[in-house]
């Protein structure tokens, strides 16, 4: 089985080095996202001795307004960080300042767009249309993490060459399976979003991938062996794009 995780929060577990050591031993290619620039600053370099893990420069949309001053830290490290995330928009709180959030997200994209090799993992909860508007001219790779929006916006995202990271809760839900059915298999990637998903709250294990492979194999009507090959090629493709 080809093992990879394009969106997990290693820093939210107590023993971070244990997580990195485990991922290396499991040979699971992993994008370890952060929620704030100061967390990237704190943990950057922890991955330098690991082949399979890359720590990502993030600024979670629900934290943008509260920690706006940390944009200075984001600016400081954006040139060195090939992996950027978790960033995006989140309109699930009716009291959020959507315009302010969008303004800050646009600025993060502007900074990331100064280099064409960035790989973004993007949050879009209840803000899919605006996320697509902001990222439509981005030069690098956009991975929409845990997409849950409309089919109309899904079709737009597909037409704009976006990728989609799928977790074990998505493959078990009716809406998630409906979305997966619509996505071309060559645009699918795997994520855990650990520790926010069932079974991974307290301990991280790559076993979550088993359910994803099994369910997507069923949805797409191909063997798991074929799916391993497809996912390996998808992951390799995003790494080689714009290089």
Q: Domains, the chain, ranges and CATH?
A: 4-240 (3.20.20.140)
Residue 60 assigned ligand-binding role? no
pLDDT digit string (tens) for 97-106?
A: 999 999 999 9
**Dihedrals φ, ψ of 8, to 5°?**
-145, 155
193 annotated as a binding-site residue? yes
Residue 145, annotated ligand binder? Answer: yes
* 123 annotated ligand binder: yes
pLDDT of residue 233: 97
Q: What is the pLDDT along the chain (243 residues), one digit of tens a residue?
A: 999 999 999 999 999 999 999 999 999 999 999 999 999 999 999 999 999 999 999 999 999 989 999 999 999 999 999 999 999 999 999 999 999 999 999 999 999 999 889 999 999 999 999 999 999 999 999 999 999 999 999 999 999 999 999 999 999 999 999 999 999 999 999 999 999 999 999 999 999 999 999 999 999 999 999 999 999 999 999 998 877
DSSP 108: H
Distance CA 122, CA 21 (A): 26
Burial class (CB in 10 A: 0-12, 13-18, 19+), 41: middle
């Amino acid at each position: 089985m080809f093992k990879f995780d394009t969106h997990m929060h290693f820093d939210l577990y107590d023993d971070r080095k244990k997580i990195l050591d485990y991922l290396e031993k499991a040979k699971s290619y992993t994008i370890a996202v952060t929620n704030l620039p100061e967390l990237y600053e704190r943990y950057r370099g922890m991955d330098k001795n690991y082949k399979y893990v890359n720590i990502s420069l993030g600024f979670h949309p629900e934290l943008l307004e509260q920690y706006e001053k940390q944009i200075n830290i984001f600016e400081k490290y954006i040139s060195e960080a090939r992996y950027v995330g978790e960033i995006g928009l989140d309109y699930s709180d009716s009291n959020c300042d959507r315009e302010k959030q969008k303004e800050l997200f646009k600025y993060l994209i502007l900074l990331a767009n100064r280099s064409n090799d960035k790989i973004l993992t993007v949050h879009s909860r209840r803000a899919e249309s605006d996320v697509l508007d902001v990222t439509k001219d981005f030069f690098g790779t956009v991975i929409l993490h845990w997409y849950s929006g409309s089919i109309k916006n899904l079709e737009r995202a597909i037409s704009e060459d976006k990728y989609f990271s799928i977790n074990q809760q998505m493959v078990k839900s009716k809406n998630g399976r409906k979305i997966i059915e619509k996505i071309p298999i060559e645009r699918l990637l795997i994520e855990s979003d650990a520790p926010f998903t069932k079974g991974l709250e307290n301990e991280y294990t790559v076993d979550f991938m088993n359910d994803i492979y099994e369910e997507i194999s069923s949805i797409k009507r191909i063997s798991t062996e074929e799916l391993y090959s497809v996912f390996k090629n998808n992951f390799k493709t995003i790494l080689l794009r714009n290089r």
